[in-house]
């Protein structure tokens, strides 16, 4: 049995684990990184990269086989950045084995035992597949298998109307498949319903069937002939099945109890400092039980590096974390939705709206359909919801505003090049001041008084 002593041992080489490993080793810490599956984790191999590549292939009008080639090429192009060779070149000791705790201070990976001053659990999440009657006898895909399929589905059934389900629905529809989405509640239900409706109407107009309030009761059939019966009696028929109902934390292999690490079905229990009930052990990203986004794992990496390397107090926050669904049009959110803001701030809330029909660049490109809503309290934004072209890019403007507690006046003062889509943000900020400047009797009286005395 080999034994290693190190400063930091990271379990999992996804976005969070890789960010911590690269940062820590370059600042002088000794780092051991454990990964028993694929470097780059879910994002590179099964999530963000292949899904966006498949969406792009649909927009480009590629044939199904060429679309899958495009997906693989995107993965292969990015993979060297996340590779064992790159991280060993940085000075990280990479062990290609799964890690499991054998004591509060030790992790075993293959025939190696690692003792470390600090451990980081960065094992991510995997598809949650509910125990639906009949599912064990019917062939199905998850996001971990669907990108490898080289045969085009005639009619793809998707159980789950969240971001993964809707992105895959549009990608496959544009690649020539019939698509039906079966959602037990409301599709894109975590987003502002008014903004979600804009996206869903567009998807339906492309020929995607979206069945809401259709809780799956039973699945039956064989490859090429699958049926899903909902609790209300509706039956949906298709040739292939994708399960996209959610995620579960990857904690089964970790043997957390022996290390005194509390956990539940959402993941490792951590405080705002991302520390577990074992003070030597941190958890980041999906496995930490919060927002499940690649960029959150990267953000968590910065939080724990500050604590582990410099001994400084550091806490993770969520109010400034954006997210986006990369359908066409895109859907993005940061901070509070309108409903959340009304509940939290009541009469102090102002909701500012700007329609994409007023953006000259989008008019010129024939894409001027969308909406931005700003939730403002006492002159500061507390949330932004966007549906429309480039919403995932536009939301970054408001993520920065929330992260830095900016005022609407500072945002409105920003000068942007014309004509750009980003003027949507500036025009929305300007709309906050319109009634204060142009519909205010006092302002008009002051201007009139000044004009009488100006030389």
314 is in an annotated binding site: no
308 is in an annotated binding site: no
163 is in an annotated binding site: yes
Residue whose C-alpha is closest to residue 203's, from 157, 172, 240, 247: 172
Give the distance, in angstroms, between the CA of residue 441 and the centroid of all CA atoms in the same chain: 46
User: CA 436 to CA 58: how far, in whole Å?
Assistant: 45
User: CA 438 to CA 445: how far, in whole Å?
Assistant: 11
Residue whose C-alpha is closest to residue 127's, from 98, 154, 162, 101: 162
SS3 (DSSP) at 41: helix
165 is in an annotated binding site: yes
CB 120 within 8 A of CB 114: no
User: CA 217 to CA 228: how far, in whole Å?
Assistant: 7
330 is in an annotated binding site: no
286 is in an annotated binding site: yes
CB 408 within 8 A of CB 432: yes
Give the distance, in angstroms, between the CA of residue 444 and the centroid of all CA atoms in the same chain: 47
322 is in an annotated binding site: no
141 is in an annotated binding site: no
166 is in an annotated binding site: yes
Three-state SS annotation for 112-152: EEEEEEEEEECCCEEECCCCCCCHHHCCCECCCCHHHCCCC
Edge-first strand listing for the sheet containing 371-377: 322-325, 330-335, 380-388, 371-377, 349-355
* CB environment 50-86: b (16+ within 10 A), e (fewer): bbbbbbbbbeeebebeebbebbeebbeebbeebeeeb
* Tokens (6 digits) for 365: 């490109």
36 is in an annotated binding site: no
164 is in an annotated binding site: yes
271 is in an annotated binding site: no
User: CA 335 to CA 316: how far, in whole Å?
Assistant: 15
Q: Please give the annotated binding residues, written as ranges.
A: 52, 99, 123-125, 160-167, 183, 246, 286
Q: Please give the annotated binding residues for FAD, written as ranges.
A: 52, 99, 123-125, 286
Q: Please give the annotated binding residues for NAD(+), written as ranges.
A: 160-167, 183, 246
């Amino acid at each position: 049995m080999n034994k290693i002593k190190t400063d930091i041992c990271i379990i999992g080489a996804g976005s969070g684990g890789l960010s911590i490993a690269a940062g820590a080793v370059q600042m002088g810490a000794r780092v051991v990184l454990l990964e028993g599956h694929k470097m780059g984790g879910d994002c590179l191999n099964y999530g963000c990269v292949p899904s966006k590549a498949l969406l792009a292939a649909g927009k480009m009008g590629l044939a199904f086989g060429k679309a899958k080639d495009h997906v693989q090429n995107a993965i292969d192009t990015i993979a060297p950045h996340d590779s064992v060779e790159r991280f060993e070149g940085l000075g990280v000791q990479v062990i290609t084995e799964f890690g499991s705790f054998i004591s509060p201070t030790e992790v075993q990976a293959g025939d190696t035992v690692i003792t470390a001053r600090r451990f980081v659990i960065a094992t991510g999440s995997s598809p949650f597949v509910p125990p639906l009657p009949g599912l064990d006898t019917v062939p199905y895909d998850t996001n971990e298998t669907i990108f490898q399929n080289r045969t085009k589905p005639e009619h793809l059934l998707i159980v789950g109307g969240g971001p993964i389900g809707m992105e895959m629905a549009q990608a496959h529809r544009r690649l020539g498949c019939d698509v039906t989405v079966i959602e037990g509640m409301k599709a894109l239900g975590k987003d502002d319903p008014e903004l979600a409706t804009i996206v869903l109407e567009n998807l339906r107009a492309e020929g995607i069937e979206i069945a809401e309030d259709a809780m799956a009761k039973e699945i039956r059939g064989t490859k090429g002939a699958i049926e899903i019966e909902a609790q209300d009696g509706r039956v949906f028929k298709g040739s292939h099945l994708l399960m996209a109902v959610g995620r579960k934390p990857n904690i089964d292999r970790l043997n957390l109890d022996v290390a005194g690490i509390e956990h539940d079905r959402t993941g490792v229990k951590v405080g705002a400092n991302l520390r577990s009930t074992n003070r030597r052990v941190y958890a980041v990203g999906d496995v930490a039980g919060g927002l499940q986004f690649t960029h959150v794992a990267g953000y968590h990496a910065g939080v724990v590096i500050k604590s582990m390397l410099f001994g400084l107090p550091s806490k993770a926050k969520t109010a400034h974390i954006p997210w986006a669904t990369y359908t066409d049009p895109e859907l993005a959110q940061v901070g509070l939705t309108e409903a959340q803001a009304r509940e939290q701030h009541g009469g102090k809330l102002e909701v500012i709206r700007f329609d994409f029909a007023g953006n000259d660049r989008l008019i010129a490109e024939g894409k001027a359909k969308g909406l931005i809503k700003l939730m403002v309290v006492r002159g500061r934004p507390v949330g932004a919801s966007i549906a429309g072209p480039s919403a995932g890019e536009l939301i970054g403007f408001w993520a920065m505003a929330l992260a830095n507690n900016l005022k609407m006046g500072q945002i409105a003062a920003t000068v942007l090049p014309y004509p750009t889509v980003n003027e949507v943000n500036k025009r929305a900020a300007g709309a906050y001041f319109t009634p204060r400047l142009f519909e205010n009797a006092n302002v008009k009286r002051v201007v009139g008084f000044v004009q009488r005395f100006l030389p």
